[in-house]
Structure formats: C-alpha cells, structure tokens
Amino acid sequence: MSVSEPPPVRTDADLVDSDFAVLFDRHAAVVHRYLARRAGTGAADDLLAQTFLIAYERRGTYDRTRPDARPWLYGIAGNLLRRRRREEVRQYQAWARTGVDPVAADHAGRVAEAVDAECAAARLAGVLAGLSAADREVLLLVAWGELSYPEVADALDIPIGTVRSRLHRARARIRAAAAKDQGDGHG
Amino acid sequence: MDDMDTLARLRADLPDPDPDVLAAARDRLTRRMAEVPPAFERSRTSWRALLGRRLAIGVATAAAVAVGAGVLVTVAGTDRPSGHRPETGGGTSAAGTPYRAPTDASSALALAADHARTTGDPVVGKGQYLHISRNVWWGEYLDGVRFRHKFRTEVWVPADADGVWWWRETSLDTKFASAADERKVRASDPRVFTRSASLSSGHDGQPDRTPTGKPHVVGPQEPGWYYPTPRFLAQQPRDPRKLLAAIEAAVEPSSLNKGDRPTMAFQMIAEVFATGYAPADLRAALYRAARLIPGITFQRNAKDLDGRRGVSISKPAPYGFLRTEIVFDPKTGQFLGERTIVVRSIEDDAYLPVGSTYSETALSADVTGNPHLF
C-alpha cells in the first residue's frame, strides 16, 4: 500500500486548462452574486450561464500567470452587463426616485431597513444612475465585486491609473451627493 | 461610515443563488465543453496564448489541429521531386514493394509507418529554415454568434536548434450563417474583420517576443505533449507501445475527457503530426502507436482539403459529439491531415448540423532562408 500525498491545490490557471467545470464550481456563486447586484436575480440567472460559456470559449485568452480567475470572469460578466446598461440605469433611477430598490424588491426575503438607511441607499442609487458606465463599472467591481485595483485593471484591461482616476471621480460624486443631502437636512 | 462601506452594503442581503439555477448553468457549460475534444481545445488555447492573441488569432499548429475540427494537413511539394515533406515520409516506393491498397486501418498505418521511416526528413541546410504554413478554418464563438474564421499560420523552424523561430499569423476571411450574425459580431468586435498579421519570434517552438519587443502575455510553457517542441519530441520513445504509454500518461483525466486516455492519445497523435516538425522516426512510431488504439474506424476513400485522395482513421471524442479523423496517403506514407466532424447533434443545428466539419486546415511546407519578419 502506498502512502498517498494530499493532492496539490490547483490554481484557477490550472483549472482553465484541465477542468473548467471545477472552475465553475469555484466561482459561480460569487459571479452570480455580482451579476444579481448589478442586474437583478432573474437576469443574473441567465447571465451567469452566458458568462461561463463565453469564458470557456475564450479560455485561450486567459493569462496563465494569474492564479485567480475572478477578474477575468468579472470582465466577461461586465461585457454582458454593458448590453443591459439602459435597464441598469433605469432601475437605479427608479430606486432613487421611489426609495424602493426594484432588484431587492424582487425577492421575498428582503430585510426591512431603517428609513435613514433607505434614504442613503436611494441617494447612492441616484449617484449610480448618474455615473458614466465606465466609472460605475470600476466603482462596483471594487464595492460589490471586491476586487483590488490591480484586479479591476485586469478585469477591464485598463491601466491601474485609469482605475484610480475613475474610482476617485465616482467617489467624489458620492460624497458630493451625501454633502448635498446633509445640506438639505436629510443627513 | 465611509461612502464605500455604504455602497458595499447595498444589495448585500440578496439571497444566495438558487442551487437549481447553478446546476442549470453548470449543465449548459458542461454540454458545451463536451462539444469539443478537450485535448484539442487545450492545445488550441495554449498555442493561441503563445501566439499572444485572443480568439481571432489562431494558432500555428495545434490551433489548427486542436479545435477539433476537420483539420487537414497538406504538405506542399509532395508531388515534386524536390518535395519538402516534413509531415511524413512521402516516398512513393519507399518500401520497395508493389503498392496494394490497404483495406483496414492496421495495414494502412503499417504501410504509412514504413514509408515515413524510409523517406526521412527534408534537408534544411545551415542557416536555412523549414517553413510550415497552414490555412485554417475553424469555428469561433463571440457574443452568442457562431461563425467560421480563416487564418494562415506560418512557422519558420531554424536548422540550428538554438536559432530564432518566427511566426506569422494572418486573418484571412470570415463566414457567417446570416448577415444579422455578421452585423452583431462587427458591432461587438471589429477586430475580427481586420486582415492584419500577427508576428512573433521565439526559441525552441515557443514564441517569446513581439515586433515591439514586448514579451508574450503568456510566458514560455513547459515543453510536453501539450506543448511539443523539437527537443521534447526528440526525447520521446520510438517503440510504439512505450510511445503510446507516454502519451496516455500525459493526458490529464478530468470531467472533460471522462478519463478516456486512448481517445485522448489518438487526438494527441494527430496534434503531433500537425506540428509539422515531428522527425521521420517519430512519425513512423506514431503511425504504429495509432494501430494499438482500440475502436478506430477506417475509411478507404477520404480526401484532403485540396481534394487529394487518401484514407482515414477516426475515433469519436469521449462524449461522442465529434469525431476526429486523421487523413493520410498510404501509397506514399504522407500524413495529409485531420478533421473533426459533428456526429451527434450539439444543439446548434443551424450552424453545425450533424455531418458538418467544425474546422479544417491545409498545411504546406518548404525550405527557406531566414524570413527576418521584424
């Protein structure tokens, strides 16, 4: 009887080559979560499958020196979301206008929020609706995708300086909106 | 609370994805994966990565071979006395025996092996290059649209083992099922329609530099069956059984290939042939190794891309959606190429109905000077 060693941990780069289904198992939930936060659960259900199908078809483009496939997958998901940009902006606008998040309202398990938190959320939604698509994408990859700046740069294939400047611009808009709310007595 | 913290909490309480949704998405993925023989795909991506471009830029060798599709390799000059026949032994009477058309895979492969060995390799003199060129049709997939893309991939292999290799890949043509499909791809990625060439140089079969001096996105790969270099191939066994065992051992079992090592080995053999630089004794051994693989079917009347007649051996991929076919001329021992054919519906009948060819390649070779591409 031979002594078996624990199998080596496979990086995402290994899985891209050898077992794409396991790559799915590793990241599907988190990619779905990101998609759902951007587009709603119903849309995310379909976009998730599309993201991985495209990823599989394009796996030749995966940089094998990258052990974590999340930025790459988010980049593909972002391309799909871009085609839904109008719907995405509309739902942020509706959220800002009504104070009710149309995405969160889709599911029954929604936790009731305090009124002031709802106000803050609606304000943020208004900012999101007003951002350029490029700035919004960087902002949400950081806030919802939990990617680092270099990972966002990877995901979007843009220089890291561009990530910083877009994020800086987006955050300035958020702060400006918060200051305006406080000035209006809503803070 | 920081502005980013507030933002990070938005929609943070969305429920986890429905397990049924994940299962359905996974099922769609694995069905797609089953459409293309994974070994092919793997090398396709590898080579593509080596050549440093996205989907639209193909690959030299394996790209062609790889994608599974109908890869046809045609060696230029096979009909000429000066023939440069790196792919196979080509001598018409190399075995010195009257030719009798083989009636089964085993005898056809044995005949091809004899001729490969006796014909040997083309002479590439000092400072010269073996120039291998492939015209490749293969399937692409972009934004939900399937289409066919034609490339010419060329590689110049130096006579000097330490010399500089050169690659050039040129996008030539596209074919769409409909004008609407074409418009969609054009809007999504106009680069697909660019007829530009991609250049690179490197060493020992692996590109490492572009004309601008930039390294390739993917660094050099460890030579192996998935990245066969001349040095690697020179070290492999010539005994057919040992050779087959080495190839089968190199196949990584996964959910993609069902651990079907003989079939994966068959596909790997096709890839190695199509590199264009497997030496004659290895080509002979590959023919004989193929004889040891069970479940091979034989076709007496096969044609290559240029209409040249030969025979073919084929084997279905692990999931049975595609069949890989190696075409060769038993009369001369010449390896003509390979193709992959859809044999079971892959639920894409508008684009790839049963019986259609997924992609195909024509290969030619000659001996040249240093191309000095950049």
Is A68 within a domain?
Answer: yes
Q: What is the pLDDT of residue B170?
A: 83
* End residue of a domain, out of A51, A67, A83: A83
CB count in 10 Å sphere of residue B317? 27
Residue A184 lies in a domain: yes
CB contact under 8 A, A144 and B219: no
Using DSSP, state whether B153 is helix, strand or coil: strand
Task: Quick: pLDDT tens for A131-166.
Answer: 888 889 999 998 898 888 888 888 887 788 888 888
Q: What percent of chain A has pLDDT over 90?
A: 17
Assigned domain for A48 exists: yes
The whole-number pLDDT of residue B82 equals 30
Q: Does the residue A174 lie in any domain?
A: yes
Strands B309-316 and B322-329: antiparallel
Rounded to whole angstroms, what are the CA distances from B312 to A142, B104, B111, B315? 54, 10, 13, 10
pLDDT of residue B220: 54
Domain of A27 in residue numbering reads as 11-83
Residue A89 Cα, gap to closest chain B Cα (Å): 15
Give a yes or no: residue A109 inside a domain: no
ipTM score:
0.80
Q: What is the DSSP string of B306-369?
A: T--EEEEEEEE-TTSSEEEEEEEETTTTEEEEEEEEE-S--S-TTTS-TT-EEEEEEEEEEEE-
DSSP string, B33-64: HHHS-HHHHHHHHHHHHHTT--TTS--SHHHH
Is residue B15 domain-resident?
no
What is the rounded average pLDDT for all residues in chain A? 80
- Residue B197 is inside which H or E element, if any? strand B197-203
Phi then psi for B258, rounded to 5 degrees? 55, 15
Residue B165, domain member (yes or no): yes
Specify the residue for token string 């941990």: A9
Asked whether residue A46 is assigned to any structural domain, the reply reads: yes
CB contact under 8 A, B10 and A62: no
Q: Where residue A172 sits, what CATH number does that domain have?
A: 1.10.10.10
Burial level of A109, CB count in 10 A (0-12/13-18/19+)? exposed
In angstroms, the separation between the Cα of residue B176 and the nearest Cα of chain A is 17
Read off the CATH number of the domain in which A42 is found: 1.10.1740.10
Q: How far apart are the first and last CA of chain B?
A: 56
Nearest to A137 by CA among A55, A76, A66: A76
Residue B16 is assigned to a structural domain of this protein: no
Q: For residue A186, which amino acid is it?
A: H
pLDDT of residue A82: 81
**Is B97 within the bounds of a domain?**
yes
- Of residues A128 and A101, more confidence is placed in A128
Coil, strand or helix at A174 = helix
Interface list for A 28-47 with B (CB within 8 A): 28-29, 32-33, 36-37, 41, 44-45
- As a whole number, mean pLDDT of residues A106-113 equals 45
Domain range for B279: 36-368
In a domain, B355, yes or no: yes
Ranges of H-type helices in chain B: 3-9, 19-35, 38-50, 61-66, 105-119, 179-188, 230-234, 240-250, 261-275, 280-291
Which of A68, A83, A98 is the last residue before a domain boundary? Answer: A83
Q: Which residues of chain B have pLDDT under 50?
A: 37-95, 217-219, 255-256
* CB interface of A with B, residues 64-103, below 8 Å: 64-65, 101, 103
The total number of structural domains in chain A stands at 2
pLDDT of residue A182: 59
The domain total for chain B is 1
A55 domain residue, yes or no: yes
**pLDDT band, residue A66 (cuts 50/70/90):** confident
Is B6's CB within 8 Å of A120's CB? yes
DSSP type of residue B151: E
Chain B interface residues (partner A, CB cutoff 8 A):
3-4, 6-8, 10-18, 21-22, 24-26, 28-30, 32-33, 41-42, 44-46, 48-49, 54-55, 141-144, 217-219, 252, 254-256
CB contact set of A156 (below 8 Å; sequence gap of 6+): A75, A78, A137, A138, A141, A163
